[in-house]
Structure 1
Amino acid sequence: MRTRDVMTTDVVVVFPETSAREAAHLLAERGFTALPVVDTAGTLVGVVSEVELLQDRLPQDPRWLVHGEPAEVRQAPGDVVAQVMVRPAVTVDPNTDLAEVADLMLEHGVRSVPVVHEGRLAGIVTRRDMLRSITRADWVVEAEIRNRLGVVGGPRRWQVAVSGGKVSIVDKMGNATERHVAEVLVRAIAGVTDVQFVSEQARVGS
């Protein structure tokens, strides 16, 4: 499965001149942890997350001052996104394998990754997107498989069963080329974790 199969293309973005307050409001309202920052051409120029927007922005509790504790010296927080955004730790393209995306997220400790195509933001993929892809109902996955395999040998060419994301396909013809095409189509479907083919002869013999 590729990034393009699960990524969100209707991405909420901010611009370098967006106020930090507005960006923080978007994160809180939408339940996001980070927002891509783009210029007017749609080119990804950075990412702003909860971390950058919270840094030096919460006031110190005044009760400490009553007890004579010295006020902590803090740097004035940036007013606009351009002053607080960071370069993304990692980006991927629409054809990146989802297994690689998951590894990159864990390696860099991020919950979302911008998807970039030819320098421009094409989408975003989150941990939730990937979790959703592996928890689709088997009957939904099976229906999509049957629909896709209808273009390879017709709707009666294959017998399909799905259990826990694992796909078993009975191949009535045994054509190696068509089987390869079918496997590529099936493995690209969200929710598929494994694909096994069984020939009609083997199924009858068992």
Structure 2
Amino acid sequence: MLVREAMTAPAVTIAPSATVRQAMRVLLEHDVTALPVVGETGRLVGIVSEMDLLRGAFEADPRAFARPLGGAPRGPEPGRVEQVMTRDVRTARPTTDVAELAEMMLRTRIKSVPVVDGSAVVGVVSRRDLIATLARGDARIRDDVLASIAAYAPDGGPWDVTVEDGVVRLRGRHDEQAERIVEVLARTVPGATRVLLTSAR
């Protein structure tokens, strides 16, 4: 499966000059956990996450302490997205393999990855997007596999397709080339975690 089949698009972005409060409101309104930061030319310049926006946002409440808080008063908090965003951003392409991206996200503990096509931000892949893809029902995955076979391999004859917990099992009486084509088609279906092919020849 490719990133373009799992990503949320279009991407919800924000300008580096936006205020931290504005960014918080955009996160809440769109129910996302991170925003790609896009400059005036539309080029990606950073990403800002919930954690970035929360740093230093709250002052300690004296009611929570037995004695008055001491220490020097804090300086002014960052007011703009460009002051808190991450500038070194990991990105993906629409044609990146989802398995490769998921492995990178697990290894680096990154929660959201902007998807860029050329210099344009065309989507975002979050951990939630990956979970939603994997959570697709088996019946829907099976329907999509059969539809893909009908659309792209209509002369391949009948196929027995079963899906259990995202694992697609294909069985048919076909030559090796037809089997390979159908196996590849099944692997492109969102939610298909594994494809097993059994030849009935």
- Paired position in structure 1 for 2:46: 46
Counting only pairs closer than 5 Å after superposition, residues 115-154 of structure 1 correspond to structure 2 as 115-150=115-150, 151-154=152-155
CA drift of 1:196 comes to 1.8
CA drift of 1:36 comes to 0.7
Residue deviations 1:53-74, cap 9 Å, x none? 1222212324479934314543
CA drift of 1:79 comes to 1.7
Work out the percentage of aligned pairs sharing the same amino acid: 34
- Paired position in structure 2 for 1:84: 84
The 1:158–1:18 alpha-carbon spacing in structure 2 relative to 1, beyond 3 Å, is same
* 1:45 alignment partner AA: V
Q: Secondary structure of 1:144's partner?
A: helix
How far apart, in 2, do the equivalents of 1:191 and 1:145 lie? 10
- Paired position in structure 1 for 2:167: 166
**Larger deviation, residues 2-11 vs 151-160:** 151-160
Q: Tell me, which stretches of 5 or more residues in structure 2 are unaligned?
A: none
How far apart, in 2, do the equivalents of 1:10 and 1:137 lie? 24
Residue deviations 1:109-132, cap 9 Å, x none? 221111112132121001111111
How far apart, in 2, do the equivalents of 1:137 and 1:65 lie? 50
How far apart, in 1, do the equivalents of 2:200 and 2:105 lie? 42
**Larger deviation, residues 188-197 vs 71-80:** 71-80
How far apart, in 2, do the equivalents of 1:9 and 1:30 lie? 12
Q: Secondary structure of 1:48's partner?
A: strand
How far apart, in 1, do the equivalents of 2:110 and 2:77 lie? 23
Residue deviations 1:81-120, cap 9 Å, x none? 1222112442111122212212221222221111112132
How far apart, in 2, do the equivalents of 1:96 and 1:189 lie? 15
CA drift of 1:21 comes to 0.8
Counting only pairs closer than 5 Å after superposition, residues 1-206 of structure 1 correspond to structure 2 as 1-63=1-63, 67-150=67-150, 151-154=152-155, 156-174=157-175, 176-201=176-201
TM-score by length of 1: 0.86
Q: Secondary structure of 2:180's partner?
A: helix
The 1:138–1:68 alpha-carbon spacing in structure 2 relative to 1, beyond 3 Å, is closer
RMSD: 2.2
Residue deviations 1:22-63, cap 9 Å, x none? 101222343322111112332111011122212222123244
Instruction: Give the paired residue count.
Output: 200
CA contact (8 A) 1:48 1:85 kept: yes
* 1:170 alignment partner AA: R
CA contact (8 A) 1:56 1:75 kept: no
Q: Tell me, which stretches of 5 or more residues in structure 1 are unaligned?
A: 202-206
- Paired position in structure 2 for 1:204: none
CA contact (8 A) 2:62 2:69 kept: no
TM-score by length of 2: 0.88
How far apart, in 1, do the equivalents of 2:69 and 2:197 lie? 71
CA contact (8 A) 2:156 2:178 kept: no
